[in-house]
A and B are shown apart, each in its own frame.
Chain A
């Protein structure tokens, strides 16, 4: 392994979140009854013609601007010709020689915290094909053309990645970006975001790339990682045992965790690309680009930098919070809710810890998206305000949070109803400490005899007696004094 360098390039297919298809007025919603969202254009009836959906072009340009790419002032749709039942026209309309988005790049953070720039060769618009259905049909195949004509942005990377982990980091970065831009819902189960990986290996230090294999249709981050790892191992083993890698398309089987050959280069179709005469070249002017630029949101990298700068968060925490636009917005809303009464970076850190900790676990547990959180940012802010003003301890806060999550009540109401308000009155705490010390003379003697560990025992007893509500800091201070005390308990 050490003698080999891995070279990976990804082709990511992001389904654009347009309401209608790229060349017809049919809806693009997922999960409709088969062929209920396929009109005459999608069915490729004789005489019908494609009309380009401007929304798809705007989305592609938005992506291009977000990765600093050159936007082609003139791009061309071509026909990729091949026969397949789920391809009704017998050709796919795709951009071939003249894509709408040219060279760009983005940076990804690697495990060691270093940033690496990955080049994007191009991104082009194309239409998706339909689906063949084989289940429940004896001796026949069904065809569902609902997906036919759904707009895709194919994002082609440079062969810049050197490990499966880098490939996943890049894919996650693109995934974050397209959702930030609101051009793709990123739903990988539904196939809205998927990729093909071009994988090759070469002796470390070699200039020439090895022969690559394309691993098709990877629709989860885990599969991308596993498929690439498997493919790399396969190629190395093959070469080391005297074989040669052939250029081919391979399919990843997630059940068996292996890739297997689909077709070799020789068997590949001759797609006979040529410009689609039914569509005019797409002419894009400065005005159009400026209008799209004006719709760009704050991008993940910009937002993370701002979080680190303004809130004093670590690069890692900022990155996590900016992984989705909604999560970042949630975090900021919590900070705002707190910010009304507090004005330091400490509450931002508190908010960050809670959003990444309790909130994220609760969301994961219930398999909810941040947008569907059972606790609103304002409500969480209300809870954290009670932690900051020492009304409740952090530990009690977790219980309150669980109740908020399950019952949907405000923190203050729960604290009030359950009498969780922290005891901060020194006299009250002292009274309890005195009672506890008086009830445990043996332990007191042992402690004073040098068994320091018994301090925790006394804390526990006091907490038990107060139902956990004693202010921990005060308790510590008072208890320490009393135990050390010289002064005998009354």
Chain B
């Protein structure tokens, strides 16, 4: 079936004219129509536009043009601005917001000929780990629809797991790509901070946000990242360093690769989860890698650090949603203050408000030093820990999440428990490091993820290690029942 083919295989068929992009697009649109009602993975479907883009891709193909993503469908997380298409960020605040421009990554993928099928559901303003904070309702995990798909990019991940598109985009501020990738059994890549432009991606926590990709394999992810990555003059924090040819480097030998096991990641890790990670390590050993245990003493502080830094930035980033120029405006405001209070009070959901309040508090006079500055110091220590670890090893390996997907509703009323779900992923964001998650087995019939974290701009090595792991294993090939 078309939806089980890799991006490379689809590109070959498009090039050989065995299928057209319009046919491929119709195939996935049909699947979305049929399967998405169970999952709620998409907020907006752009079928008509998709068919137009596909037809355009077919014309380019007919003219002899070839490209790795030319004519390949995708789903964008609804955090990326898409010209003329509603960009809701999972919030009532932007339910009526038609973006007047394309995010840089949207432009890049569009130019490459990729075909947008629609916009994926997500936690409101990317604040959440379960996709339950979305104004558009929770996304369900295709492996078990009573379970969450993870978040915040839960819609992108669930859509991939259900084979609703060959790839999808996501963003990762504290684990929002890697954690849902793990919980839905797909491959998710969070690049180095600055590797992919943030322009047009609605900001949550600017110093942590990074756009990335969901694909079924590391090889597919490499193909997509190749197009997404690169310097953007519109984003001052994007880094002007050449983008390696990721797909070409996938098979670089792992012999002699030094893999570090993070002691802190295994403290208290559930046995069956730990067993999967150790099994993955045996795979790497068999591929010629060496393993060593390393420690990042400050890593256990990453969750509290994150929950100061991220809310602080979000409290400021979300100030622009004031009911004045775009987005939700309360009916019949009495005066300016009423306009602000009700537009924001009614437009934002509970978790977003919680974080705005937390962030406002930690930046306030009298608390700034104790919270914000302290968190910045700890952030530096955590970064230094990683730097020291990468003197000894080339990459760090561990679990992506402490547990498999949990039940919808199980943690939503307990923010701290919910926040602890990101305990293994947040460190990479605080240090700006690239990380990815690949399927590494099942616990209770639910997929688990293996996380790889590398030094800055080591995406090629991480993707290569993930690819060769997938050549040696079959976990990434499993498809949830009903979506084969």
Contacts and interface: CB of A to CB of B under 8 A. Distances in A.
Contacts of B321: 46
B199 A272 contact: no
B337 to A, nearest CB: 9
Contact of B236 (A46, A51, A85): A51
Contacts of A51: 233-236
B101 A40 contact: yes
Interface residue tally on A, bucketed by range? 20 to 34
B312 A47 contact: no
B364 interface: yes
Contacts of B324: 85, 88, 143
Nearest to B339: A85
Interface in B235-268: 235-237
B224 to A, nearest CB: 20
Nearest to B103: A47
Contacts of A273: 363
Contacts of B318: 90
A48 B236 contact: no
Contact of A47 (B202, B237, B360, B372): B202
Nearest to A86: B324
Contacts of A277: 205-207, 237, 313
Judged by DSSP, the binding face of A is: loop
B81 interface: yes
Interface in A35-94: 40, 43-52, 79, 81, 83, 85, 88-91
Contacts of A46: 81, 87, 89, 94, 97, 99, 202-203, 320-321, 326-327
Interface in A144-167: none
Given A83-B319, A89-B319, A277-B207, A272 B87 contact: no
A45 B101 CA distance: 10
A43 B324 CA distance: 10
Given A48-B199, A280-B237, A90 B316 contact: yes
Interface in A5-62: 40, 43-52
Nearest to B312: A274
A48 B200 contact: yes
B347 to A, nearest CB: 13
A279 B89 CA distance: 23
A45 B316 contact: no
B325 A43 contact: yes
B336 interface: yes
A277 B316 CA distance: 11
B329 interface: no
B201 interface: yes
Contacts of A270: 364-365
Nearest to B340: A83
Nearest to B363: A272
Most buried by A among B97, B202, B235, B319: B319
A88 B325 contact: yes
A358 interface: no
Given A47-B99, A47-B103, A90 B319 contact: yes
Interface in B76-122: 80-81, 87, 89, 94, 97, 99-101, 103
A85 B235 CA distance: 26
B316 A47 contact: no
Interface in B185-236: 198-203, 205-207, 233-236
Interface residues of B, number: 45
Contacts, number: 101
A89 B94 CA distance: 16
A47 B203 contact: yes
B322 interface: yes
B319 A91 contact: yes
B322 A278 contact: no
B322 A83 contact: yes
B202 A50 contact: no
B320 A88 contact: yes
Contacts of A274: 312-313, 316, 363, 368, 372
B100 A279 contact: no
B66 to A, nearest CB: 31
Interface in B294-339: 312-313, 315-316, 318-322, 324-327, 336
B87 A278 contact: no
Given A81-B319, A91-B319, A40 B100 contact: yes
Nearest to B80: A47
Given A49-B199, A85-B336, A90 B320 contact: yes
A43 to B, nearest CB: 6
B81 A47 contact: yes
A48 B99 CA distance: 11
A50 B199 contact: no
B236 A49 contact: yes
A272 B316 contact: yes
Contacts of B319: 81, 83, 89-91
Contacts of B205: 277
Contact of B199 (A43, A44, A47, A83): A47
Nearest to A91: B316
B103 A89 contact: no
Nearest to B318: A90
A85 to B, nearest CB: 6
Given A44-B325, A47-B81, A272-B360, A81 B316 contact: yes
Contacts of A85: 322, 324, 336
B325 A49 contact: no
Contacts of A88: 320, 324-325
A270 B365 CA distance: 7
B55 to A, nearest CB: 28
B325 to A, nearest CB: 6
Nearest to A143: B324
B98 to A, nearest CB: 11
Contacts of B336: 85
Residue among A50, A277, A279 with the highest chain B CB neighbour number at 10 A: A277
Contacts of A49: 198-199, 234-237
A51 B234 CA distance: 6
A91 B318 CA distance: 10
A226 B244 CA distance: 65
A170 to B, nearest CB: 31
Given A40-B100, A272-B316, A277-B206, A47 B200 contact: yes
B110 to A, nearest CB: 16
Contacts of A52: 236
A91 B206 CA distance: 14
A162 B94 CA distance: 54
Nearest to B89: A46
Closest 5 pairs (CB-CB, A-B) = A90-B319, A277-B207, A272-B363, A277-B206, A47-B200
17 contacts: A40-B100, A45-B325, A46-B203, A47-B199, A47-B203, A51-B235, A83-B340, A89-B319, A89-B320, A90-B319, A90-B322, A270-B364, A272-B315, A272-B368, A274-B363, A277-B205, A278-B203
Interface of B: 80-81, 87, 89, 94, 97, 99-101, 103, 198-203, 205-207, 233-237, 312-313, 315-316, 318-322, 324-327, 336, 340, 360, 363-365, 368, 372
